[in-house]
Amino acid sequence: MQRQPITGACVWNGAELSARHDWKFDLTQEMWQELLAATKDAVKHEQTWHMVEEHNFQIPQTAVLLNEISTYLEQGPGLARLQGLHLEKLSEEERRIMFYGIGQTLGTPVSMSRQGMMMSDVTDEGANSAERYGHVKDEDDNDFLSSRARVHSTGKLRFHNDRCDVVALLCVTAAASGGTSRLASVPMIHNIMLERRPDLLALLFDDYHRSRLGEEFGDNANWYSIPIFAQQEGHFTSHYSRTFIEAAQLQPDVQKMTEGQWQAMDLMHEIADEVALETAQSPGEIQFLNNHIVFHGRTEYKDHPEPDARRLLHRLWISMANSRPLPSSFEVLFREIGPGQLRGGIVAIEEEAAV
């Protein structure tokens, strides 16, 4: 199959995007007051954050802006930043209520663990992260950390995307230094690979074995296969985590990757580094990313010594009503693949029991 370059607003490079401001959205004072009133009303009615739904968190003015962001994420460059949340005016519970209310208005939050975790705290958990989120031994008997264990550390995160339509990150406190977001247009990576090495690009449309280590299961015995790049009905999509691929290669029953497959991933990373946007998130900002067309990672960081000042982000995985169709191969991760369907996330244990 002869592949063609991808066109449109989803194709961008970091140098070009850093000079633009159209991906940054500001709350007006009226929107902030509306969000604050909806949050206070939830507290008044003794609603905890996980009880918040769109119908009981009324923010009509802000909803118009969130609808604009929704369109921008799917039809534009696939990333957006919402600015203007005054977190210093909120308690922790109020902060969570407001963030979850925004997520419920933008789309439908989905579970991020088998325990049904609907909001996660991205922060350094030190040595506990390996035991809590999973690790195995590699060929040299060294600890190989799961993807989730790496997230809850101060280390660098390689380019990847999550198993949902949109990931939202609210910055509560920033690191003392580092922890900068690194974002890359996957369609841009596709186009550059098409120019440089179309033979390696073709390999990314083949299946790669992935481990479920640290997501559904604590061990490394379960794995599945899907491509890194795919197209469906004219829509491009990607799903990638090198950690899950490397973990699968530690299994004796998983077919070993070819040298070409490793080279294809290496070139993909090399180009992502070339075209990435590096952008620091400040407290009170929400970063939204369309996982189908944007890779994200972060630089390593140094934290504040005071526990209350350490880097903290709240995270949501969101299913979107305006989402694109996915290929049948993605059903193993997203369960539903039709456009606009409720999909993605990790099936909670109680949902499994009900099936």
pLDDT digits (tens, 9 = 90+) for 51-65: 999 999 999 999 999
Note the residue count of the chain. Answer: 355
How many other β-carbons are positioned within 10 Å of the β-carbon of residue 121? 13
96, 314 Cβ separation under 8 angstroms: yes
122, 256 Cβ separation under 8 angstroms: no
Residue type (1 letter), 197:
R
Instruction: Report CA dihedral (29, 35, 37, 38) to the nearest 10 degrees.
Output: 160
Residue 175: partners with Cβ closer than 8 Å, 6 or more residues away: 154, 301, 302, 303, 304, 310, 311
Q: What is the pLDDT along the chain (355 residues), one digit of tens a residue?
A: 678 999 999 999 999 999 999 999 999 999 999 999 999 999 999 999 999 999 999 999 999 999 999 999 999 999 999 999 999 989 999 999 999 999 999 999 999 988 899 999 988 766 565 455 554 555 655 654 555 666 667 788 899 999 999 999 999 999 999 999 999 999 999 999 999 999 999 999 999 999 887 566 545 558 899 999 999 999 999 999 998 899 899 888 899 999 999 999 999 999 999 999 999 999 999 999 999 999 999 999 899 999 888 999 999 999 999 999 999 999 999 999 999 999 999 988 765 544 4
107-354 to CATH, choices 3.60.130.10, 1.10.3720.10, 3.30.300.20, 3.40.50.150: 3.60.130.10
Residue type (1 letter), 150:
R
Q: What are phi and psi of 87, to 5 degrees?
A: -65, -25
- Torsion over CA: 344, 348, 349, 351 (sign): negative
277, 182 Cβ separation under 8 angstroms: yes
The ranges assigned to domains in the chain are 107-354
Q: 237 forms bridges with which residues in the sheet? A: 230
Q: What are phi and psi of 36, to 5 degrees?
A: -65, -40
13, 188 Cβ separation under 8 angstroms: yes
Cα(145)–Cα(156) distance, integer angstroms: 13
Please tell me the pTM assigned to this model: 0.92
Closest CA to 236 of 334, 330, 326: 326
Q: 295 forms bridges with which residues in the sheet? A: 184
